[in-house]
């Protein structure tokens, strides 16, 4: 059996506090959700604003494979807006708990709610819409009323039913039993819509499916009102990998889709979020990483590639020689004892500053250390920089060149320029060196990132490439420059 996925990132997800998406952003997210393989995209609430209407219209007319759905209340104007926006379907809710009935339709009886629902469904069918009908706050409603409401909805020719746990108070057992009861009573597809107020949204949704739900309402990154909806990535991965229940989701698109939604909604995914959080496939500590490198299954339930992301190995304070050696072996490098000590020192140095060291950082550190020659002609003994608002960036250096100590100062357009100019002056009596190119990359995000500087230096017709890697951009630049000098000055 294949469970159908209704993604509500653009409707319930957009109701996340603080989130507001433009029409263009909604369209781009919808295109991504379509590539992700969701069966139904709930694109918004057509009646709620001009922007919502335009977004649903643009998405409906963009030729996506997925069914495009608008949220609607049991009101004709909501149905008209959805139909005018060219939506394929509506997810229409009627208040079903006492508290929702009395606050949304004051003075209306349950009989009147049923009558209004029937008329709304019939009208939506007349307007050519597919109808998925559900009671809102159904999990707090009298179940006998739900059965009666749904029986009438079926008579009015609703295409599908949905059961909503609007305030997230269901438990897995109730979700399972309720879905069983609904499927026993009704012959149409039944969906489950769950919220995460008690952290049970994924469990409830999975148990709803086990109880017979044919469709689930989920949102990317678990966005949604309050604590959010059931997270698409969690529900899909749990269904497929733990229960062997299929979906139409292209799993390698999960991570890219998560990143796009994170970027546009500006709701940062917590690092420890299952499946898509930064730490979900990141490993730290020596023992873990060395076992992991022998067989990734030791500490990973699934491979990160399945969901379109990569494993990240972090060696902070716990950097062990074994894990660094294992990574180096994988990279095809061998180091001497001295080089190994230097590599470990540099890794620990970053770790001690509270910064994580990724495998990309390690690769850069290893490559930098391995290029350092044993015998140095040029050595940096001291460096100081002055830079600020009213001063010309100025550097003074003390170098040891062929055994002589040379002190020089230089100015420049910036601190790096000043430092390089000072070094150039210091070495001018020893060699005529030209800086051909200078390139800088931050290996990982953040102002505390490891900075990788690659320089090309020229002496006569000989050009060498050298690199420096430090968290300090000036030190990385100077290191790269001096390493280059050591290659050129014989």
Site residues for Mn ion per CB under 5 A:
12
> Please, what is the minimum distance in Å from the beta carbon of residue 217 to Mn ion?
7
Query: Do the strands 451-459 and 462-470 form a parallel or antiparallel pair, or are they unpaired?
Result: antiparallel
DSSP E strands: which ranges in 243-353?
246-247, 282-284, 312-314
Q: Least distance from C-beta 191 to Mn ion, angstroms?
A: 12
Alpha-carbon Rg of the chain, whole angstroms?
Answer: 31
In angstroms, give the least distance from the CB of 100 to Mn ion. 12
CB of 19 to Mn ion, least distance (A): 14
Closest C-alpha to 30, from 88, 92, 72 = 88
Q: In this complex, which beta carbon is closest to Mn ion, that of residue 12 or of residue 284? A: 12
In the complex, minimum distance from the CB of residue 249 to Mn ion, in angstroms, rounded to a whole number: 20
Comparing C-alpha atoms, which of 270, 454, 286, 300 is closest to residue 357? 286
Q: Which two tokens mark 318?
A: 């716990």
Three-state DSSP class for 386?
strand
Cβ nearer to Mn ion, comparing 14 with 284: 14
Nearer to Mn ion, 47 or 401 (CB): 47
Written as six digits, the tokens of 166 are: 């609007």
Q: Number of C-alpha atoms within 13 angstroms, CB side, residue 444?
A: 20
Tell me how far apart the alpha carbons of residues 248 and 109 are, in angstroms, rounded to a whole number: 41
Helix (H, G, I), strand (E, B) or coil at 446: coil
CB of 94 or CB of 474, closer to Mn ion: 94
What number of other Cβ atoms are within 10 A of residue 329's Cβ?
A: 11
Cβ proximity to Mn ion, 12 vs 132, nearer residue = 12
Q: Which is nearer to Mn ion, 133 or 255 (CB)?
A: 133
User: How far apart are CB 140 and Mn ion at their closest, in Å?
Assistant: 13
Select 12 or 342, whichever has its Cβ closest to Mn ion.
12
- Token code pair at residue 306: 């399945």
Residue spans of beta strands (DSSP E) within 235-391: 246-247, 282-284, 312-314, 378-386
Residue pair 200/172 in contact (Cβ under 8 Å)? The answer is yes
CB atoms near residue 221 (< 10 Å): 28
Q: Based on CB atoms, which residue is closest to Mn ion, 165 or 479? A: 165
CA distance 278 to 258: 11
* Contact status, residue 480 vs residue 464, Cβ threshold 8 Å: no
Closest approach of Mn ion to the CB of residue 224, in Å: 6
- Contacts for 486 with CB less than 8 Å, ≥ 6 apart: 372, 373, 376, 377, 378
Q: Residue-wise over 173-203: b if at least 16 C-beta within 10 A, else e?
A: ebbbebbebbbeebebebbbbbbbbeebbbb
**Burial per residue of 436-447, b for 16 or more beta-carbon CB atoms within 10 angstroms, e otherwise:** eebeeeebbeee
Min dist. Cβ of residue 194 to Mn ion (A):
8
For Mn ion, give the closer residue by CB, 139 or 289.
Answer: 139
DSSP alpha helices (H): ranges in 163-316? 172-185, 201-210, 232-237, 254-265, 286-294
Q: How many residues does the structure list for the chain?
A: 490
Shortest spacing between CB 31 and Mn ion, in angstroms:
23
Q: Judged by CB, which is closer to Mn ion: 12, or 483?
A: 12
Nearer to Mn ion, 12 or 325 (CB): 12
CB nearer to Mn ion: pick between 164 and 368: 164
**Minimum CB–partner distance for residue 193 and Mn ion (Å):** 6
Q: At what angle do helices 143-155 and 110-126 cross, to 10 degrees?
A: 30
Minimum separation from the CB atom of position 322 to Mn ion (A): 49
**Minimum distance between the CB of residue 134 and Mn ion, rounded to whole angstroms?**
10
Beta bridge partners of 380: 399
- Strand-pair partners of 95: 136
Residue 223 or 487 with smaller CB distance to Mn ion = 223
Query: Which residue is at the shortest CB distance from Mn ion?
Result: 12
Q: How far is the CB of 204 from Mn ion (least distance, A)?
A: 13
């Amino acid at each position: 059996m294949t469970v159908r996925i209704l993604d509500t990132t653009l409707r319930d997800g957009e109701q996340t506090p603080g989130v507001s998406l433009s029409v263009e952003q909604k369209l781009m997210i919808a295109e991504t959700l379509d590539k992700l393989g969701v069966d139904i995209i709930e694109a918004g609430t057509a009646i709620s604003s001009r922007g919502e209407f335009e977004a649903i219209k643009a998405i409906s007319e963009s030729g996506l494979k997925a069914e495009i759905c608008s949220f609607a209340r049991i009101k004709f104007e909501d149905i008209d807006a959805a139909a005018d926006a060219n939506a394929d379907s509506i997810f229409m809710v009627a208040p079903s708990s006492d508290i929702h009935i009395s606050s949304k339709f004051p003075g209306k009886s349950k009989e009147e709610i049923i009558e209004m629902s029937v008329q709304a469904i019939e009208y939506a069918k007349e307007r050519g819409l597919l109808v998925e009908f559900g009671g809102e706050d159904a999990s707090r409603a009298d179940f006998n009323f739900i059965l009666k409401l749904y029986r009438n909805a079926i008579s009015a020719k609703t295409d599908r039913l949905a059961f909503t746990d609007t305030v997230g108070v269901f438990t897995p057992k109730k979700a399972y039993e309720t879905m069983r009861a609904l499927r026993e009573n009704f012959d149409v597809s039944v969906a489950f819509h769950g919220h995460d107020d008690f952290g049970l949204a994924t469990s409830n949704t999975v148990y709803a499916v086990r109880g017979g739900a044919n469709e689930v309402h989920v949102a990317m990154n678990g966005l949604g009102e309050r604590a959010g909806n059931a997270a698409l990535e969690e529900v899909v991965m749990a269904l497929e990998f733990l229960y062997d229940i299929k979906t139409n989701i292209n799993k390698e698109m999960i991570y890219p889709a998560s990143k796009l939604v994170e970027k546009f909604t500006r709701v940062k995914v917590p690092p420890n979020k299952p499946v898509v959080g930064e730490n979900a496939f990141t490993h730290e500590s020596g023992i873990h990483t060395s076992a992991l490198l022998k067989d990734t299954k030791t500490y990973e339930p699934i491979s990160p590639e399945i969901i379109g992301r990569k494993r990240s190995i972090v060696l902070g304070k716990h950097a062990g020689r074994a894990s660094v050696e294992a990574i180096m072996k994988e990279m095809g490098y061998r180091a001497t004892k001295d080089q190994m000590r230097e590599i470990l020192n540099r890794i620990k140095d970053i770790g001690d500053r509270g910064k994580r060291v990724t495998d990309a950082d390690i690769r850069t550190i290893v490559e930098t250390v391995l290029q350092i020659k044993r015998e140095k002609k040029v050595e940096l003994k001291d460096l100081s920089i002055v830079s600020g608002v009213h001063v010309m960036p100025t550097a003074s250096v003390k170098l040891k060149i062929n055994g002589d100590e040379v002190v020089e100062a230089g100015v420049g357009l910036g601190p790096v320029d000043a430092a390089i100019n000072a070094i150039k002056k210091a070495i001018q009596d020893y060699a005529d060196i030209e800086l051909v190119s200078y390139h800088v990359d931050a290996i990982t995000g953040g102002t505390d990132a490891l900075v990788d500087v690659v320089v090309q230096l020229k002496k006569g017709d000989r050009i060498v490439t050298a690199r420096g890697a430090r968290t300090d951009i000036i030190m990385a630049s100077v290191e790269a420059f001096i390493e280059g000098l050591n290659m050129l000055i014989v």
